[in-house]
């Protein structure tokens, strides 16, 4: 609000993009459409004064929020062609369906390779082939032993649980290999168990086809790593690898969903701002007077209309 030569000029930003100047003795300008903006009027006992008028033409955050909630909705709000919204919606649908399907397939394969491991790997074979009657060709390998770097969790029950506790390390089998013939001793088949039997040479003796073992060489940086394998262990690892690949695909689908929301939001804001600039270039300005019967010359103020 600016006061010049006794006249208060109030700059008003209307929804239609019009800018007006008013006298402090507020009188409606002839022909002015007041439905295009919100007016805040302060009344006293003698006269009314126009305090302020505020309305915003453009809300760039609005289409962005729409797109962050549902990709393509911001483009629809901007009035863009439907094919643009359809692209973002299509990516969203495909990504969600892919995430669901790849997770399902990975879970199905996980169940299959765990059953395969249960059928072809046993605690008894591991202890017998590694400690009690070790495979001659594998004895020279440092990792071919029970008490290596990695461990299983053994579940004890009955009198053994009372003496040693319910859960103990598989290293205890070095001192008590006879436990493998006791039904009160089982291995805890958790996620670490299924990872260990396929990943580490320490547990290769537990596979039922250990006599068919072979050596694989894997290059790791500047060194060559020796891997002890059996046909069943290789089959098991291939199944785990397929399951993990599907889980990675599911993670990629989640990333695609996130990027789809962000890109749709950014594009909606960019288009919104571009359209606003285009309208601004087509703007025109008009200056005029408005009538006031209480004024000696009938002039109550100046109107400036800026349209875009």
Write out pLDDT tens, residues 154-204.
999 999 999 999 999 999 999 999 999 999 999 999 999 999 999 999 999
Examine the domain organization and report whether 87 and 139 are in the same domain.
no
Residue 53 predicted with pLDDT over 50: no
Burial of 19 (0-12, 13-18, 19+ CB in 10 A): middle
For residue 186, give its domain range.
Answer: 109-244
Whether residue 238 sits in one domain with residue 258: no
37 and 7 part of one domain? yes
Question: Could you tell me which of 211, 227, 229, 197 has the C-alpha nearest to residue 116?
Answer: 197
Query: What is the crossing angle of helices 231-281 and 61-69, to 10°?
Result: 160
Does residue 8 share a domain with residue 131? no
Shared domain for 294 and 186, answered yes or no, is no
pLDDT, tens only, 241-293:
999 999 999 999 999 999 999 999 899 888 888 887 777 665 555 555 556 67
Beta-strand runs (E) in the chain? 2-4, 7-9, 12-13, 19-20, 39-43, 48-53, 153-156, 167-169, 185-187, 214-220, 223-229, 284-291, 299-307
Lowest mean pLDDT among 45-49, 116-120, 161-165, 192-196: 45-49
Please choose, from the candidates 269, 277, 282, 272, the residue with its C-alpha nearest in 3D space to the C-alpha of residue 68: 269
Rounded to 10 deg, the angle between the 191-199 and 231-281 helix axes is 110
Q: For the residues 104-128, what does the mean pLDDT come to?
A: 97
**Same domain membership, residue 202 and residue 300:** no
Contact 224, 217 (CB under 8 A): yes
């Amino acid at each position: 609000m600016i006061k010049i030569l006794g006249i208060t000029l109030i700059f008003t930003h209307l929804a239609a993009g019009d800018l007006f100047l008013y006298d402090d003795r507020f009188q409606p300008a002839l022909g002015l459409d007041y439905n295009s903006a919100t007016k805040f009027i302060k009344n006293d006992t003698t006269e009314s004064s126009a305090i302020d008028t505020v309305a915003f033409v453009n809300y760039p955050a609005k289409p962005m929020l729409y797109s962050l909630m549902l990709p393509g909705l911001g483009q629809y709000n901007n009035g863009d062609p439907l094919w643009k919204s359809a692209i973002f919606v299509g990516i969203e649908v495909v990504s969600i369906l892919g995430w669901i399907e790849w997770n399902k397939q990975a879970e199905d394969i996980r169940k299959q390779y765990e059953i395969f491991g249960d059928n072809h790997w046993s605690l008894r074979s591991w202890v017998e082939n590694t400690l009690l009657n070790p495979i001659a060709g594998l004895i020279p390998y440092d990792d071919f032993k029970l008490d290596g770097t990695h461990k299983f969790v053994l579940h004890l029950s009955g009198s053994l649980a009372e003496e040693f506790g319910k859960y103990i390390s598989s290293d205890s089998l070095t001192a008590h290999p006879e436990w493998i013939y006791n039904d009160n001793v089982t291995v805890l088949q958790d996620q670490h168990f299924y990872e260990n039997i396929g990943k580490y040479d320490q547990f290769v003796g537990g596979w039922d086809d250990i006599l068919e073992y072979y050596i694989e060489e894997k290059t790791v940086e500047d060194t060559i790593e020796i891997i002890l394998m059996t046909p069943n262990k290789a089959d098991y690892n291939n199944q785990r690898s397929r399951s993990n690949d599907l889980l990675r695909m599911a993670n990629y689908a989640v990333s695609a969903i996130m990027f789809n929301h962000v890109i749709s939001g950014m594009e909606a804001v960019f288009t919104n701002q571009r359209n606003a600039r285009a309208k601004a270039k087509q703007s025109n300005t008009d200056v005029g007077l408005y009538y006031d019967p209480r004024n000696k010359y009938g002039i109550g103020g100046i109107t400036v209309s800026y349209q875009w």
